[in-house]
Structure 1
């Protein structure tokens, strides 16, 4: 039988039906599972049997969610977490030891940066950053203790694109674990494992849920690495709840059609902004003016839901723009059905110094828009009237 297409796997991958022959997978709201007898219990805890024991370890709903994402990403195995940052932290914590070193792209989510600069140094884990367009100097950053190379693509919030193939070849050459945060693209638009990634991380809170309802994270990739992450997480307890896993598994059934609309709307918004007199610059991966446009077209199916731009007039003008928004939501989330505007310098990346923000391309007048599923004309009209007021 031919391999099923992405959209079909998202819908038809599900739990084995119970005796009730339900069409849609039920929710397994149970903290624990029972055993047939003492030998069954002993063998289960000894891992001689592959079965559910306790929902902190595994649950049918989280297993279904994981299986779907693994098929979407082309991964061997995975583990689901209570949030995106829980996935990031647990993945690194499980794989790193005291003295290890991380090489990471400089443009990353603010909380991930805080993890590298505030938390891991307590464990004697160090990091070095490289700039997006400076892959030629990566060799200089490698030490005998370097274990992981990490990147986001597209980046948060500047939607820059990294050459995943080049990073994959580099990581293989130096025997590093390559980890990619694929949150902005979703597995529908990009599969980093094809380019050499060993592990892929998602905040399920974003496009995977798509409706701003639940927190979730997931890491998928090579089975041997996932086993280490699973054993660490089994002890430390960051597991995804059964209810949230059920919500996300159902959400993945519509991921393709939702992301198609997100991308269609986002490209229209980006093209509108590109011609607006109140805007200095616009960045969207599938705009021809994007610095890495050709690379984005090579790696991604479409440009995603996030558009970044800079209003003329800096922070003052930015504040006026945000205060003039009428329909769009002022929030720090993204990938929602509802369009969201965010000021990274004062919200998601506010813990960075001004110098650190500028290194990532985050200026005081920068705006990040997560373009939703409303009619594109209504989204553009709201942005337009707000720009007219600055």
Structure 2
């Protein structure tokens, strides 16, 4: 099974350069300037000896569509470069990515510790489904590191958090989070979907795995679903193997859309950061708004951590309308003229 490992370039490259060029061959198949969309269920070998060479890992190439696609390898290398990791594994969705990671790393009797602010489907998978296989999920208050460490025992196998979290946009102290895992010999996972590698690279702080729903900022145009896990080659080996069994790969066309979306990643994130902060500051100063949750505001609980570790704070904002019940809040939402109502 072909691996996607990032090699260091001769000179350091900027984020925008990596977004455009990382992972791509300078001279592409059929000499096209863009990577072709390869729609194939399987790949042929020239001879029996070629099959033997592939099995003996003397030649790296594609074998069967369930194991991946040439375009996928390009995007995986690009995402690993952007995140500063050794290897990336692309999935059909962000949920497929986290399910694939958990299923490849956890066994009956193992325990996982979550911060309690997280995407409800991630938590639901652990509580309702992993529990059927004997995996225990423990939840502690978001960013309560003492509580997280107190919950660790000899059965704990993974510490999990989003950062920023959903919905209050709490920002993890990356180093402290990673240090708890390192001292106890426990893997750490950060879902950094709302940050993106443009704003922070958790691996640089010692986090073992970084997960993204690439559907969001990375794709950037609301026309694809994708997920990715980035980490070390050694730790990701069983994860990639299980993905080949599960078949949770992406379609060639989605891969093409994601690669194209990443070309403008830095430009879009820079504008998201600027617009997000401007809207958050406007809302905070509005007399009808009770509270704004945005890590770029000095009033946010984790502002100092965010300011110190993040380049920007993204485009997602949570706010409360003063003295409003859900009907009044819904009326305000229905009056919004530009932003759409969507999950």
TM-score when normalising by structure 2: 0.94
Q: Is the aligned partner of 1:121 residue 2:120?
A: no
Residue 295 of structure 1 is aligned with which of 279, 300, 305?
305
Q: Is the aligned partner of 1:177 residue 2:166?
A: no
Q: Is the aligned partner of 1:227 residue 2:227?
A: no
- Gap change, CA 1:19 and 1:235, over 3 Å in 2: closer
Rounded to whole Å, the distance in 1 between the matches of 2:72 and 2:212 is 14
Structure 1 gaps of 5+ residues are 333-390
Per the alignment, residue 250 of structure 2 pairs with: 240
1:176-215 to 2 correspondences below 5 Å:
176-215=186-225
CA RMSD of aligned residues (A): 1.3
TM-score when normalising by structure 1: 0.83
TM-superposed CA distance for 1:59, in Å, is 1.2
Per the alignment, residue 112 of structure 1 pairs with: 122
TM-superposed CA distance for 1:47, in Å, is 4.1
Q: Is the aligned partner of 1:327 residue 2:338?
A: yes
Residue 286 of structure 2 is aligned with which of 276, 283, 295?
276
Q: Is the aligned partner of 1:90 residue 2:105?
A: no
Rounded to whole Å, the distance in 1 between the matches of 2:69 and 2:15 is 24
* DSSP 3-state at the match of 1:207: coil
TM-superposed CA distance for 1:275, in Å, is 1.3
Residue 65 of structure 1 is aligned with which of 55, 58, 75?
75
Per the alignment, residue 22 of structure 1 pairs with: 32
Q: Does the aligned pair in 2 maintain the 1:209–1:247 contact within 8 Å?
A: yes
Rounded to whole Å, the distance in 1 between the matches of 2:28 and 2:217 is 30
Per the alignment, residue 3 of structure 1 pairs with: 12
Rounded to whole Å, the distance in 2 between the matches of 1:140 and 1:19 is 54
Q: Is the aligned partner of 1:156 residue 2:201?
A: no
Rounded to whole Å, the distance in 2 between the matches of 1:308 and 1:222 is 34
Query: What is the number of residues matched between the two proteins?
Result: 332
- Gap change, CA 1:157 and 1:15, over 3 Å in 2: farther
Rounded to whole Å, the distance in 1 between the matches of 2:143 and 2:103 is 28
After TM superposition, the structure 1 stretch with the greater mean CA deviation from structure 2, 269-278 or 10-19, is 10-19
Per the alignment, residue 4 of structure 2 pairs with: none
Per the alignment, residue 320 of structure 2 pairs with: 310
